[in-house]
Structure formats: C-alpha cells, structure tokens
Amino acid sequence: MNETSARRKAEEFTNRCLRPAVEDFVKRSLGPDIIDEMLKNKQFSNRIECQYSILLDLLTQNDFEKYLSYIGSYENYVKKWILDQIVTHFSNGSRMSQLEDQRLQSSISSINDAINKAKTENSGNMKTFVEDVCQELGDKLVISQDALGAFMILNNADQPQNELFNKLIGCGKQCPFCKAPCEAGGKEHTEHWTSLHRPEGLGSYRWTSTKKLLTDICSSAVISDVRFHCNATNGKYHPYKRYKEIFPDWHITPDGSLQASDYWKYVLAKFNNKFAKEYNAQPADIPSSWKDIKHQQAEASLKESFNIK
C-alpha cells in the first residue's frame, strides 16, 4: 500500500470510526460528569437541602401556577426544576466546555497510546493494525465491528435530571390526601410517610356539604370521626381512621396536636381563591391568624421544618 493510499485509509478510519467513537464517549461521559458537578452544590448535597431549595424557590417566585404544578405533578415538576438548575449552572461561564475538553483530551490520549502500541506490534497489514487499535481502546472508546465501514450510531446519554431525582428524591409518591411527598427516600421501601403534611385543601379535598376546601391536616383527620371519598373508594364514604384499607402503603402518624406549617398556611391563604377555582370548589374558611402570616414568617417556618440554619 503506497503512502497516499495509506493516508486515505487512515483518514477514513478516523472519520468513520474514531470520530463517532470519541463523540459517543464524550456524550456518555457528560451525564455522570454533570451529576458529579451538581452534587457539589449545597442544594443538591442531600434530600433535605433539595426539598428545601425547591420550596424556597416556589416561595420566592410567588407563582400560583408553579405551586399548582408542584402539588399536582410533583415528580415532573421536580425533574424540570432540577433540569433548570443544571441549565442555569452550566450557562454561567465555560464549565461545560471544560468538561467536554477534559473528556476529549482523555480520548485523544487513549487513541495515541493505542496507535503507538499497535505500531510496535503491527506487521504492516492495515486490517491487523485497525483491529489492534480497536482492541487497545477496549471499553473506553467503543468501536463496534459494524462501524468499521460506516458511521457509528451514537447512544443517547442518560438524562442527568432523572439520575439526580433518583439520588436525591427517590420516591415520587404523594400523600393521597394533602399531596405532600414521601420522605422515605430511595425506592426500596414498603411504606410511604411524610412528617410535613399540609392542609388537605391543597390536595383538592373539600367538605361535601359546603364544597369548601379543607384546612385540616391528615395527622388530625386520621383520628377523627370524619369520612372521605375519592376515586380509590369508588366514590363511597370511608372513615379516615381506616384509611389503610384504601391506602395500605401509606403510614400517617395520628396526632391531633399537629398543625400545618406557617409555610403552607401562607400558601393556602394567599392563593385560596385560585385553588378553589382550579379544583372547582369553594374557598376554604381561612383562620384569621393565617392571613397575618408574612412572607418572612413563611420562609422562617420552612427553615424550621427542614432544620436549616
């Protein structure tokens, strides 16, 4: 094989095999790199910080539609919020380019090492040389045999927001009454629970007779003589005390002394009419003390709930 022909074959191998393999490697690596980068931020350091940051962001934005989305489509909202944080983080500065460049340089180094080693072992046969290079690159740069004569099909990278959700939130289940998210963490648990129940009206529960949204929380309801009905009961009334017959995978700690946090009192009081309209109900009878809660008090309550200093 003359020099011109060899150069042409080398360019073809580079463009059709090495280039897509490098692109694939960088693409596959960026997902884990992004996750590692985001986990360094305080708001992603653990589940509590993440939940606190989400609720604080909601309070700061003061947007009813966002609260409605968070309550009604919790998992989707949180994943979108995580994605927004990723975009914001990597939009500032050149961090994404740095991550890409690090992986690219790593690929180039691996390729050079593989070529140099293949040169020392090669008998001059192009096919043997290419096979040796592919073998040396191993699992790091995956060059399938089918790609030797065609461009490699790139694999889709895992979505970082899904991975971060699984790491930090895990369970996306919500209380069947107030829609508070399960705090058990991870996915390997048989019983859902939360220590931060909200006014049930936020979950669209209302009094049957008046259609007014409820201000009571689940911990009080499950020791009362009140009954509920929903799709899970096929529209039939069922005692709160026997809620486990309908929702066996939930544990709601009975405690008549517990009240909703000032955070959620503030939210329901502020958006009472909008929640009622959205849920096709009547506005809740908001206690006068709830109406006096200020933004700062709601934020302080949030910090207290999550033990944030």
Q: Which residue type is seen at 293?
A: I
pLDDT of 98 over the 60 cut = yes
- Mean pLDDT calculated for residue range 24-31: 66
Q: What is the pTM of this model?
A: 0.74
Instruction: Out of 12-16, 90-94, 113-117, 276-280, give the one with best mean pLDDT.
Output: 276-280
- Start-end of H helices in 92-172: 95-121, 126-137, 160-168
- Mean pLDDT calculated for residue range 270-291: 97
240/87 Cα distance (integer angstroms): 43
30/82 Cα distance (integer angstroms): 16
Q: Which residue type is seen at 52?
A: Y
Question: Which tens digit of pLDDT belongs to each residue from 37-80?
Answer: 889 999 999 999 999 999 999 999 999 999 999 999 999 999 99
Assess contact for 184 and 193: CB atoms under 8 A: yes
Q: Quick one: which of 303, 171, 200, 191 has its CA closest to 259?
A: 200
pLDDT of 148 over the 90 cut = no
pLDDT of 96 over the 80 cut = no
DSSP-derived secondary structure letter, 174: B
Q: What 3-state class would DSSP assign to 239?
A: strand
Report pLDDT for 146.
46
